[in-house]
Amino acid sequence: MLTADPVRSLPALASLPTVLASVPDPRRAQGRRYALGPVLTLAVCAMLCGARSLYAIAQWGRDQDPALWAALGITRPRTPCVATLHLLFKRLDRAALEAALGQWFAAQGVAPGEGIALDGKALRGIHGEDLPGVHLVAAYAHHVGVVLAQGGGAGQTGRDHGRADGAGAA
C-alpha cells in the first residue's frame, strides 16, 4: 500500500516592504513626512523600472498613480522629492539595509553571491476600450530554481503615451 508523507506547511515569509520597514530610520521624528519603509520600497520599484538616479526615482514616483502610492504605504498627496531622497539616502545605515536584505534573501533560499534575474514586461491594452495594459515583474533565483516574487499591476496612465518603460512625458 502506498502512503504519502503529510504535506509540510512552510512558514510565512516576510514581504520585501516589511523587511525594508525594519531598517532603522536615521531621521529625527520631528518634521518626518514619509515613513522609511515606503520610501525604500518606492526606490526599489523605481530602480526595477530603470531609474538610475535620485532625480529619476523621484520622477518615477510622481508619474505613478496615487493608488500605487497608497499600495506602497505613502499616505501623503505627493511622493518624496529629490532633496528628501538625497538627505535620507545620505544618512541611511548601509550596513543595516544590507543585513536586512541579506536576511530576506537567505529566507527565500538565495545563497550569498548568487545572482537573481529580474524580468519585467508591459502588455499593451486596447485603445478606445476600457481594457488597460498590464505590467508584470518577476524575480528568479537560478541556483535554487525558485521565483522569489512576481506581481502585476494596472496598465499605464494616459500620460505615459504607451511607452513600455513608463517614462512618458509629464
Cell digits of residue 7? 504535506
Q: Which residue has the higher pLDDT, 155 or 97?
A: 97
Q: Which residue has the higher pLDDT, 135 or 129?
A: 135
Per-residue pLDDT band for 170 (boundaries 50, 70, 90) equals very low
* Domain chopping of the chain, boundaries: 14-107, 110-165
Digit-coded pLDDT (tens) for 137-153:
777 877 777 777 777 66
Summary mean pLDDT of the chain: 78
Q: What are phi and psi of 96, to 5 degrees?
A: -65, -40
pTM: 0.63
Within 8-114, residue ranges assigned H as helices are 16-21, 36-48, 54-63, 66-72, 82-91, 94-107
Digit-coded pLDDT (tens) for 75-110:
999 999 999 999 999 999 989 988 888 888 788 777
Q: What are phi and psi of 19, to 5 degrees?
A: -65, -45
